[in-house]
Structure 1
Amino acid sequence: AQQGQTNAIHFTRPMVDRPGLDLSFSGLKTAVLLAVAQGYNHADVAASFEQAVIDTLVIKIKRALEQTGYTQLVLAGGVAANQPLRARLKILMEGRGGTVFYPPAILCTDNAAMIALVAAMRLGHGEHDATTGFEVFPRWPLSALAVPS
């Protein structure tokens, strides 16, 4: 994406006109596949896709901040390694008088690796949490979550 033009292809910003904080990139993924099949430059496809995702995330994050009044944001997981996203969120948070936190990019390569490291550290300190009886929800709607007080 670094060698491509972010405005070479206009990809829609999914679900930004809908109220709420839900996200779905399935239509965007299809649009990317079509752009590749149509012969667009791969670097331009990647850069334009990255820009569409970043724009969408920033819009949804800004909405979440407005709804909650929070002034601090934590960016974690693999997406936290994305430098353009970090830059956009820094601008967003500074403009709101807030702060964004993220780990060093080297630690953001894989969510599973990050969780495994934390688990290893906790085990090393003698912590043994139950690891059975939990469920996986790959499409867990944000509306089903409770905001901590």
Structure 2
Amino acid sequence: AVVDVLVAKCLAALRHTRLNQLVVAGGVGANRRLRSRLDAELAQRRGRVFYPELALCTDNGAMIAFAGALRLAAGPAQTSTGGEIAVRPRWALDTI
């Protein structure tokens, strides 16, 4: 089910942008079923999918956790300029 959703979203993004080339990276790029489905779908559409080597398709969650551990070990720090950050859930990419 997850692969179906990711494939559908990738194809929708390609249609929206009128592109026929896709780069898949991060931990999800190691998923063989996803690779197979995207390869097949893009081949039907005369497109291409590019992937890093499997050794480079790692979950960045580990990186974020490590960065958080380093920050925690460094102790309290001023991390804000005092300004507010506007959070906009579901911010459409075409408005950025």
Does the TM-score normalized on the shorter chain lie above 0.5? yes
| 1:80 and 2:47 matched | no
CA shift, 1:93, in A, is 0.8
Distance 1:88 1:113, change over 3 A: same
Q: Determine the structure 1 residue equivalent to 2:76.
A: none
- Compare relative contact order (CA 8 Å, sep 6+) and give the higher one, 1 or 2: 2
CA distance in 2, matches of 1:72, 1:101: 8
Give CA-to-partner distance per residue, 1:7-29, whole Å, 9 cap, x none: xxxxxxxxxxxxxxxxxxxxxxx
Moved over 4 A (4+): 112-115
Report SS of the residue matched to 1:100. strand
CA distance in 2, matches of 1:114, 1:99: 29
Distance 1:102 1:114, change over 3 A: farther
| 1:70 and 2:19 matched | yes
Q: TM-score, normalised by structure 1?
A: 0.44
Q: Percent identity?
A: 51
CA shift, 1:106, in A, is 1.0
Q: Number of aligned residue pairs: give it.
A: 77
Letter in 2 for 1:68: T
Contact 1:78 1:108 in 2 (8 A): yes
Alignment of 1:16-31 (within 5 A): none
CA shift, 1:146, in A, is 3.4
Q: Determine the structure 1 residue equivalent to 2:40.
A: 91
CA distance in 2, matches of 1:76, 1:147: 24
Report SS of the residue matched to 1:146. helix
Q: Determine the structure 2 residue equivalent to 1:43.
A: none
CA shift, 1:66, in A, is 1.4
Report SS of the residue matched to 1:141. coil
CA shift, 1:111, in A, is 2.1
Please tell me the root mean square deviation across aligned C-alpha atoms, in Å: 2.8
